[in-house]
Amino acid sequence: MGLMPVHEALARILEGAAPDDEAETLPLAESFNRVLARDLKALRTHPPFAASAMDGYAVRAADAQAGAVLKQQGESAAGHGFDGTLTAGSTIRIFTGAPVPAGADTVVIQENTERLDDGSVRITEAAEPGRHIRAAGIDFEEGKTGLEAGRLLDAGAITFAAAMNHATLPVHRQPKVAILATGDELRLPGETLGPGQIIASNTFGVAALARGAGAAVIDLGIAEDRMEALDAALDSAISQGADVLVTIGGASVGDHDLVQKALTARGMALDFWKIAMRPGKPLMSGRLGDMRVLGLPGNPASSLVCAHLFFEPLITRLAGLPDPSRIKTATLGADLPENDLRQDYLRGDLSRDPSGDLVATPMQRQDSSLMKVFADSRCLIIRPPYAPAAKAGDACDVLILRD
Protein backbone atom coordinates (compact mmCIF):
# COMPACT_ATOMS: atom_id res chain seq x y z
CA MET A 1 0.00 0.00 0.00
CA GLY A 2 1.54 3.32 -1.09
CA LEU A 3 1.51 6.67 0.66
CA MET A 4 -1.90 8.34 0.58
CA PRO A 5 -2.14 12.13 0.05
CA VAL A 6 -3.33 14.07 3.09
CA HIS A 7 -6.48 15.45 1.42
CA GLU A 8 -7.58 11.98 0.32
CA ALA A 9 -6.93 10.51 3.76
CA LEU A 10 -9.03 13.23 5.40
CA ALA A 11 -11.89 12.72 2.93
CA ARG A 12 -11.92 8.98 3.61
CA ILE A 13 -11.81 9.43 7.38
CA LEU A 14 -14.73 11.88 7.25
CA GLU A 15 -16.79 9.83 4.78
CA GLY A 16 -20.24 9.21 6.24
CA ALA A 17 -19.43 10.99 9.51
CA ALA A 18 -22.57 12.64 10.90
CA PRO A 19 -24.27 13.11 14.27
CA ASP A 20 -26.29 10.24 15.69
CA ASP A 21 -29.99 10.60 14.80
CA GLU A 22 -30.86 9.75 18.39
CA ALA A 23 -31.05 12.90 20.52
CA GLU A 24 -30.86 13.16 24.27
CA THR A 25 -32.69 15.64 26.46
CA LEU A 26 -30.62 17.66 28.91
CA PRO A 27 -31.50 20.23 31.55
CA LEU A 28 -30.90 23.75 30.30
CA ALA A 29 -28.05 24.27 32.76
CA GLU A 30 -26.18 21.22 31.39
CA SER A 31 -26.58 22.03 27.69
CA PHE A 32 -23.76 24.54 27.25
CA ASN A 33 -21.53 23.79 24.23
CA ARG A 34 -23.79 20.96 23.06
CA VAL A 35 -25.49 20.99 19.65
CA LEU A 36 -29.24 21.41 19.25
CA ALA A 37 -30.74 18.32 17.62
CA ARG A 38 -34.13 19.77 16.62
CA ASP A 39 -35.61 23.18 15.88
CA LEU A 40 -36.67 24.94 19.08
CA LYS A 41 -39.96 26.84 19.04
CA ALA A 42 -40.88 29.55 21.51
CA LEU A 43 -43.28 28.46 24.22
CA ARG A 44 -44.25 32.07 24.94
CA THR A 45 -44.31 35.52 23.37
CA HIS A 46 -41.77 38.07 24.50
CA PRO A 47 -42.41 40.59 25.69
CA PRO A 48 -45.91 39.30 26.49
CA PHE A 49 -47.16 42.88 26.77
CA ALA A 50 -46.13 46.33 25.60
CA ALA A 51 -43.34 47.31 27.98
CA SER A 52 -41.51 50.49 28.80
CA ALA A 53 -37.91 50.66 27.62
CA MET A 54 -37.04 53.49 30.04
CA ASP A 55 -37.85 54.96 33.41
CA GLY A 56 -40.24 57.87 33.00
CA TYR A 57 -43.95 58.62 32.55
CA ALA A 58 -46.56 56.86 30.43
CA VAL A 59 -48.73 59.44 28.72
CA ARG A 60 -51.01 60.13 25.79
CA ALA A 61 -48.89 61.88 23.18
CA ALA A 62 -51.75 64.31 22.54
CA ASP A 63 -51.57 65.45 26.20
CA ALA A 64 -47.80 65.54 26.54
CA GLN A 65 -46.78 68.71 24.76
CA ALA A 66 -43.77 70.64 26.02
CA GLY A 67 -44.84 72.70 29.04
CA ALA A 68 -47.96 70.61 29.75
CA VAL A 69 -48.65 69.78 33.40
CA LEU A 70 -50.18 66.35 34.02
CA LYS A 71 -51.60 64.83 37.17
CA GLN A 72 -50.03 61.54 38.27
CA GLN A 73 -52.71 58.87 38.22
CA GLY A 74 -50.67 55.91 39.47
CA GLU A 75 -47.57 53.80 38.98
CA SER A 76 -46.50 50.82 36.83
CA ALA A 77 -43.46 48.78 37.87
CA ALA A 78 -41.97 45.51 36.61
CA GLY A 79 -44.13 42.74 38.00
CA HIS A 80 -46.64 45.26 39.35
CA GLY A 81 -48.48 46.90 36.47
CA PHE A 82 -51.08 49.65 36.73
CA ASP A 83 -54.55 48.13 36.96
CA GLY A 84 -56.67 50.57 35.06
CA THR A 85 -56.76 52.95 32.10
CA LEU A 86 -54.89 56.22 31.73
CA THR A 87 -57.30 59.13 31.57
CA ALA A 88 -56.94 62.32 29.57
CA GLY A 89 -54.70 64.98 31.16
CA SER A 90 -52.97 62.43 33.41
CA THR A 91 -49.76 60.42 33.53
CA ILE A 92 -48.59 57.21 35.14
CA ARG A 93 -45.13 56.84 36.63
CA ILE A 94 -43.48 53.90 34.83
CA PHE A 95 -40.25 51.95 35.16
CA THR A 96 -38.14 49.94 32.73
CA GLY A 97 -39.76 46.63 31.88
CA ALA A 98 -43.13 47.56 33.34
CA PRO A 99 -46.36 47.09 31.33
CA VAL A 100 -47.52 50.18 29.47
CA PRO A 101 -51.00 50.91 30.86
CA ALA A 102 -54.06 50.98 28.69
CA GLY A 103 -54.68 54.41 27.22
CA ALA A 104 -50.97 55.38 27.03
CA ASP A 105 -49.25 55.52 23.66
CA THR A 106 -45.80 56.88 24.55
CA VAL A 107 -43.30 57.22 27.39
CA VAL A 108 -41.58 60.48 28.31
CA ILE A 109 -38.24 59.73 29.92
CA GLN A 110 -37.81 61.17 33.38
CA GLU A 111 -34.95 63.42 32.23
CA ASN A 112 -37.53 65.27 30.10
CA THR A 113 -39.87 65.96 33.00
CA GLU A 114 -40.02 68.11 36.12
CA ARG A 115 -41.68 66.98 39.32
CA LEU A 116 -43.79 69.76 40.88
CA ASP A 117 -44.47 70.34 44.56
CA ASP A 118 -48.09 69.24 44.31
CA GLY A 119 -47.06 65.88 42.81
CA SER A 120 -47.99 66.71 39.25
CA VAL A 121 -45.48 66.41 36.39
CA ARG A 122 -44.43 69.07 33.89
CA ILE A 123 -43.32 67.82 30.45
CA THR A 124 -40.18 69.65 29.35
CA GLU A 125 -39.75 67.82 26.05
CA ALA A 126 -42.53 65.97 24.30
CA ALA A 127 -42.18 62.37 23.05
CA GLU A 128 -43.52 61.10 19.76
CA PRO A 129 -46.20 58.38 19.80
CA GLY A 130 -44.69 54.93 20.43
CA ARG A 131 -41.47 56.36 21.82
CA HIS A 132 -39.63 54.18 24.40
CA ILE A 133 -42.21 51.38 24.15
CA ARG A 134 -41.30 47.80 23.33
CA ALA A 135 -44.25 46.29 21.49
CA ALA A 136 -45.61 42.91 22.58
CA GLY A 137 -43.83 40.12 20.65
CA ILE A 138 -41.14 42.40 19.25
CA ASP A 139 -38.49 39.88 20.34
CA PHE A 140 -40.20 36.57 19.52
CA GLU A 141 -43.67 35.05 19.29
CA GLU A 142 -45.06 31.83 20.71
CA GLY A 143 -44.93 28.94 18.24
CA LYS A 144 -42.25 30.47 16.02
CA THR A 145 -38.86 28.77 15.57
CA GLY A 146 -36.28 30.58 17.65
CA LEU A 147 -33.23 28.31 17.35
CA GLU A 148 -32.58 25.94 14.47
CA ALA A 149 -31.22 22.41 14.69
CA GLY A 150 -27.44 22.33 14.48
CA ARG A 151 -26.95 25.48 16.56
CA LEU A 152 -24.10 25.36 19.03
CA LEU A 153 -25.58 26.16 22.41
CA ASP A 154 -23.32 29.02 23.44
CA ALA A 155 -24.16 31.60 26.11
CA GLY A 156 -26.44 33.58 23.80
CA ALA A 157 -28.37 30.52 22.63
CA ILE A 158 -28.76 29.22 26.20
CA THR A 159 -30.13 32.60 27.29
CA PHE A 160 -32.56 32.65 24.36
CA ALA A 161 -33.74 29.09 25.04
CA ALA A 162 -34.42 29.99 28.66
CA ALA A 163 -36.35 33.11 27.59
CA MET A 164 -38.48 30.92 25.31
CA ASN A 165 -39.39 29.00 28.48
CA HIS A 166 -37.52 25.76 27.76
CA ALA A 167 -36.29 23.96 30.88
CA THR A 168 -34.75 21.10 28.85
CA LEU A 169 -33.21 20.94 25.39
CA PRO A 170 -32.89 18.18 22.75
CA VAL A 171 -29.20 17.85 21.89
CA HIS A 172 -27.09 15.56 19.76
CA ARG A 173 -25.54 12.72 21.70
CA GLN A 174 -21.85 13.24 22.36
CA PRO A 175 -19.72 10.83 20.34
CA LYS A 176 -17.88 8.42 22.61
CA VAL A 177 -14.15 8.26 22.00
CA ALA A 178 -12.14 5.42 23.52
CA ILE A 179 -8.42 6.21 23.80
CA LEU A 180 -5.85 3.45 24.19
CA ALA A 181 -2.12 3.93 24.66
CA THR A 182 0.02 0.90 23.83
CA GLY A 183 3.54 -0.12 24.71
CA ASP A 184 5.48 -1.98 27.41
CA GLU A 185 7.61 1.11 27.93
CA LEU A 186 4.74 3.41 28.99
CA ARG A 187 3.84 4.53 32.48
CA LEU A 188 1.31 7.08 33.71
CA PRO A 189 2.34 10.55 34.92
CA GLY A 190 3.34 10.38 38.58
CA GLU A 191 4.49 6.77 38.44
CA THR A 192 8.08 5.70 39.03
CA LEU A 193 9.95 4.95 35.82
CA GLY A 194 12.06 1.86 35.41
CA PRO A 195 14.93 1.40 32.95
CA GLY A 196 13.86 2.18 29.39
CA GLN A 197 10.42 3.45 30.42
CA ILE A 198 8.75 6.76 29.49
CA ILE A 199 5.60 8.68 30.41
CA ALA A 200 2.45 8.10 28.34
CA SER A 201 1.81 11.78 27.59
CA ASN A 202 0.02 11.66 24.22
CA THR A 203 -3.17 10.26 25.71
CA PHE A 204 -3.84 13.45 27.64
CA GLY A 205 -3.37 15.78 24.69
CA VAL A 206 -5.57 13.65 22.44
CA ALA A 207 -8.24 13.42 25.16
CA ALA A 208 -8.17 17.21 25.56
CA LEU A 209 -8.71 17.65 21.81
CA ALA A 210 -11.57 15.15 21.92
CA ARG A 211 -13.35 16.97 24.74
CA GLY A 212 -12.81 20.32 23.05
CA ALA A 213 -14.35 18.93 19.86
CA GLY A 214 -17.49 17.77 21.68
CA ALA A 215 -16.75 14.15 22.59
CA ALA A 216 -17.11 12.09 25.74
CA VAL A 217 -13.82 10.32 26.48
CA ILE A 218 -13.38 6.71 27.57
CA ASP A 219 -9.88 6.19 28.94
CA LEU A 220 -8.78 2.63 28.22
CA GLY A 221 -5.42 3.17 29.90
CA ILE A 222 -2.24 1.50 28.67
CA ALA A 223 -2.14 -1.90 26.99
CA GLU A 224 1.03 -3.95 27.08
CA ASP A 225 2.47 -5.33 23.86
CA ARG A 226 0.54 -8.59 24.16
CA MET A 227 -2.39 -9.74 22.07
CA GLU A 228 -4.33 -10.64 25.23
CA ALA A 229 -3.98 -7.12 26.62
CA LEU A 230 -5.06 -5.56 23.34
CA ASP A 231 -8.04 -7.92 23.05
CA ALA A 232 -9.17 -6.97 26.55
CA ALA A 233 -8.95 -3.26 25.67
CA LEU A 234 -10.94 -3.82 22.47
CA ASP A 235 -13.61 -5.69 24.43
CA SER A 236 -13.85 -2.72 26.80
CA ALA A 237 -14.20 -0.18 23.95
CA ILE A 238 -16.93 -2.23 22.30
CA SER A 239 -18.84 -2.93 25.51
CA GLN A 240 -18.86 0.78 26.39
CA GLY A 241 -20.31 1.70 22.99
CA ALA A 242 -17.36 3.68 21.64
CA ASP A 243 -18.06 5.43 18.35
CA VAL A 244 -14.36 5.96 17.73
CA LEU A 245 -11.38 4.00 19.00
CA VAL A 246 -8.12 5.93 19.01
CA THR A 247 -4.97 3.93 19.53
CA ILE A 248 -1.62 5.59 20.17
CA GLY A 249 1.51 3.78 19.01
CA GLY A 250 2.00 0.27 17.71
CA ALA A 251 0.04 0.76 14.48
CA SER A 252 2.94 0.05 12.14
CA VAL A 253 4.04 -3.45 11.08
CA GLY A 254 7.19 -4.05 13.14
CA ASP A 255 7.68 -7.13 15.29
CA HIS A 256 6.39 -5.30 18.37
CA ASP A 257 3.66 -3.32 16.62
CA LEU A 258 0.67 -5.48 17.45
CA VAL A 259 -2.23 -3.01 17.30
CA GLN A 260 -2.99 -3.44 13.61
CA LYS A 261 -2.66 -7.23 13.94
CA ALA A 262 -5.02 -7.35 16.92
CA LEU A 263 -7.61 -5.21 15.15
CA THR A 264 -7.53 -7.10 11.86
CA ALA A 265 -7.77 -10.37 13.78
CA ARG A 266 -11.00 -9.04 15.30
CA GLY A 267 -12.39 -8.20 11.88
CA MET A 268 -11.34 -4.59 11.34
CA ALA A 269 -11.67 -3.45 7.72
CA LEU A 270 -8.39 -1.58 7.22
CA ASP A 271 -8.73 1.43 4.94
CA PHE A 272 -5.15 2.72 4.96
CA TRP A 273 -2.19 3.11 7.30
CA LYS A 274 0.45 5.22 5.56
CA ILE A 275 0.09 8.90 4.61
CA ALA A 276 2.37 11.12 2.55
CA MET A 277 3.01 13.55 5.38
CA ARG A 278 5.69 14.44 7.89
CA PRO A 279 5.40 13.97 10.81
CA GLY A 280 2.66 11.33 11.03
CA LYS A 281 3.30 8.91 8.18
CA PRO A 282 2.08 5.74 10.05
CA LEU A 283 -1.56 6.78 10.55
CA MET A 284 -4.06 3.92 10.50
CA SER A 285 -7.74 4.21 9.61
CA GLY A 286 -10.38 1.49 9.54
CA ARG A 287 -13.73 0.25 10.80
CA LEU A 288 -14.49 -2.48 13.33
CA GLY A 289 -18.20 -3.02 12.95
CA ASP A 290 -19.85 0.34 13.66
CA MET A 291 -16.79 1.62 15.48
CA ARG A 292 -14.37 3.85 13.61
CA VAL A 293 -10.71 3.19 14.32
CA LEU A 294 -7.93 5.75 14.13
CA GLY A 295 -4.40 4.63 14.93
CA LEU A 296 -2.14 7.56 15.77
CA PRO A 297 1.67 7.37 15.70
CA GLY A 298 3.49 7.05 19.00
CA ASN A 299 5.84 10.02 18.70
CA PRO A 300 4.22 13.03 20.45
CA ALA A 301 4.48 15.57 17.61
CA SER A 302 3.34 13.00 15.07
CA SER A 303 0.43 12.01 17.28
CA LEU A 304 -0.73 15.57 17.91
CA VAL A 305 -0.29 16.73 14.31
CA CYS A 306 -2.43 13.80 13.12
CA ALA A 307 -4.95 14.47 15.89
CA HIS A 308 -5.35 18.09 14.76
CA LEU A 309 -5.58 17.18 11.07
CA PHE A 310 -7.79 14.10 11.15
CA PHE A 311 -9.16 13.29 14.59
CA GLU A 312 -10.53 16.73 15.55
CA PRO A 313 -12.48 17.19 12.27
CA LEU A 314 -13.93 13.67 12.63
CA ILE A 315 -15.16 14.34 16.16
CA THR A 316 -16.69 17.71 15.30
CA ARG A 317 -18.60 16.06 12.43
CA LEU A 318 -19.89 13.31 14.72
CA ALA A 319 -20.85 15.89 17.35
CA GLY A 320 -22.75 18.02 14.82
CA LEU A 321 -20.37 20.97 15.18
CA PRO A 322 -19.09 23.01 12.24
CA ASP A 323 -15.76 21.89 10.85
CA PRO A 324 -12.88 23.68 12.56
CA SER A 325 -11.40 26.27 10.22
CA ARG A 326 -7.92 27.07 11.39
CA ILE A 327 -6.00 27.39 8.14
CA LYS A 328 -4.73 30.94 7.65
CA THR A 329 -2.36 32.67 5.27
CA ALA A 330 0.93 34.03 6.60
CA THR A 331 4.37 34.99 5.33
CA LEU A 332 7.47 32.99 6.12
CA GLY A 333 9.87 34.32 8.71
CA ALA A 334 12.80 32.23 7.41
CA ASP A 335 14.02 30.54 4.24
CA LEU A 336 12.95 26.93 3.65
CA PRO A 337 14.47 24.28 1.34
CA GLU A 338 12.51 22.48 -1.34
CA ASN A 339 10.24 19.66 -0.16
CA ASP A 340 10.02 16.00 -1.16
CA LEU A 341 6.97 13.79 -1.82
CA ARG A 342 5.53 14.16 1.70
CA GLN A 343 3.46 17.13 2.90
CA ASP A 344 5.35 18.79 5.73
CA TYR A 345 3.83 20.26 8.90
CA LEU A 346 6.60 22.31 10.46
CA ARG A 347 6.13 23.42 14.03
CA GLY A 348 6.40 27.19 14.07
CA ASP A 349 5.97 30.43 15.97
CA LEU A 350 3.68 33.29 14.96
CA SER A 351 4.26 37.03 15.14
CA ARG A 352 2.91 40.16 13.45
CA ASP A 353 4.77 42.39 11.05
CA PRO A 354 4.39 46.21 11.26
CA SER A 355 1.28 46.05 9.06
CA GLY A 356 -0.33 43.46 11.33
CA ASP A 357 0.03 40.48 8.99
CA LEU A 358 0.93 37.05 10.35
CA VAL A 359 4.55 35.89 10.12
CA ALA A 360 5.27 32.17 10.62
CA THR A 361 8.80 31.14 11.60
CA PRO A 362 9.72 27.44 11.81
CA MET A 363 11.23 26.16 15.02
CA GLN A 364 14.90 25.26 14.81
CA ARG A 365 14.29 21.61 15.79
CA GLN A 366 11.57 19.56 14.08
CA ASP A 367 12.12 16.06 15.49
CA SER A 368 8.75 14.34 16.02
CA SER A 369 9.69 13.21 19.54
CA LEU A 370 10.13 16.75 20.92
CA MET A 371 7.21 17.74 23.15
CA LYS A 372 8.46 21.15 24.33
CA VAL A 373 8.85 22.29 20.73
CA PHE A 374 5.22 21.38 20.02
CA ALA A 375 4.00 23.05 23.23
CA ASP A 376 5.89 26.23 22.30
CA SER A 377 4.57 26.25 18.74
CA ARG A 378 1.68 28.49 17.76
CA CYS A 379 1.16 27.04 14.28
CA LEU A 380 1.98 24.30 11.82
CA ILE A 381 3.57 25.64 8.63
CA ILE A 382 2.18 23.61 5.72
CA ARG A 383 4.62 22.67 2.95
CA PRO A 384 2.92 20.86 0.04
CA PRO A 385 4.63 17.91 -1.66
CA TYR A 386 7.47 18.94 -3.96
CA ALA A 387 7.16 22.58 -2.89
CA PRO A 388 10.10 24.57 -4.27
CA ALA A 389 12.53 26.37 -2.01
CA ALA A 390 10.93 29.38 -0.33
CA LYS A 391 12.33 32.66 0.92
CA ALA A 392 11.49 34.66 4.01
CA GLY A 393 8.55 36.89 3.09
CA ASP A 394 6.94 34.34 0.76
CA ALA A 395 3.31 33.42 1.39
CA CYS A 396 2.48 30.16 3.15
CA ASP A 397 -0.48 28.39 4.71
CA VAL A 398 -0.50 27.72 8.42
CA LEU A 399 -2.72 25.73 10.74
CA ILE A 400 -3.26 27.82 13.86
CA LEU A 401 -2.61 25.93 17.09
CA ARG A 402 -2.97 28.94 19.39
CA ASP A 403 -2.90 32.71 19.03
Look over the chain and give the mean of its residue pLDDT values, rounded to a whole number. Answer: 94
265 and 153 within one domain:
no
Written as one string, the DSSP assignment of 87-155 is PTTEEEEE-TTPBPPBT--EEEEGGGEEE-TTS-EEESS---TTTTEE-TTSSB-TTSEEE-TT-B--H
pLDDT band at 187 (very low <50, low <70, confident <90, very high): very high
Residue 151 lies in a domain: yes
Range with the poorest average pLDDT among 256-265, 304-313, 372-381:
256-265
- The pLDDT assigned to 313 comes to 95
42 and 10 within one domain:
no
- The pLDDT assigned to 256 comes to 52
Instruction: Let me know: does 306 contact 280? Beta carbons within 8 Å.
Output: yes
* Final residue belonging to a domain, choices 319, 345, 378: 319
What is the length of the chain? 403
**181 pLDDT higher than 60:** yes
Residue 358 lies in a domain: yes
27 and 113 within one domain:
no
**293 pLDDT higher than 60:** yes
**158 pLDDT higher than 60:** yes
Residue 182 lies in a domain: yes
Alpha helix ranges (H) inside 1-118: 6-14
pLDDT band at 254 (very low <50, low <70, confident <90, very high): low
Instruction: Let me know: does 380 contact 348? Beta carbons within 8 Å.
Output: yes
210 and 149 within one domain:
no
159 and 34 within one domain:
yes
User: CA-to-CA distance for 174 and 217, rounded, in angstroms?
Assistant: 9
- The pLDDT assigned to 122 comes to 96
What are the Cα distances from residue 205, in Å, to 131, 175, 278, 375? Answer: 56, 18, 19, 10
- The pLDDT assigned to 251 comes to 61
* Final residue belonging to a domain, choices 290, 319, 348: 319
User: CA-to-CA distance for 121 and 143, rounded, in angstroms?
Assistant: 42
pLDDT over 70, % of the chain: 98
CATH at residue 221: 3.40.980.10
Residue 1 lies in a domain: no
CATH at residue 347: 2.40.340.10
Residue 189 lies in a domain: yes
340 and 356 within one domain:
yes
- The pLDDT assigned to 237 comes to 97
Q: Domains in the chain: how many in total?
A: 4
Instruction: Let me know: does 59 contact 91? Beta carbons within 8 Å.
Output: yes
Alpha helix ranges (H) inside 140-226: 155-163, 202-212
124 and 59 within one domain:
yes
User: CA-to-CA distance for 12 and 25, rounded, in angstroms?
Assistant: 32
Angle at 267 between CA 264 and CA 271, to 5 degrees: 65
Q: Could you tell me the pTM of the whole model?
A: 0.84
Residue 85 lies in a domain: yes
CATH at residue 67: 2.170.190.11
- The pLDDT assigned to 274 comes to 92
263 and 206 within one domain:
yes
Residue 242 lies in a domain: yes
104 and 126 within one domain:
yes
204 and 69 within one domain:
no
* Final residue belonging to a domain, choices 319, 344, 376: 319
Instruction: Let me know: does 109 contact 132? Beta carbons within 8 Å.
Output: yes
- The pLDDT assigned to 55 comes to 97
**253 pLDDT higher than 60:** no
Which tops the pLDDT comparison, 258 or 233? 233
**18 pLDDT higher than 60:** yes
User: CA-to-CA distance for 89 and 70, rounded, in angstroms?
Assistant: 6
- The pLDDT assigned to 20 comes to 87
183 and 222 within one domain:
yes
In this prediction, residues 302-306 reach a mean pLDDT of 95
Beta-bridged to residue 291, according to DSSP, are 288
By residue range, what is the domain housing residue 107?
A: 51-134
- The pLDDT assigned to 403 comes to 78
CATH at residue 36: 3.90.105.10
Residue 147 lies in a domain: yes
pLDDT digits (tens, 9 = 90+) for 282-291: 999 999 999 9
In this prediction, residues 134-147 reach a mean pLDDT of 96
358 and 217 within one domain:
no
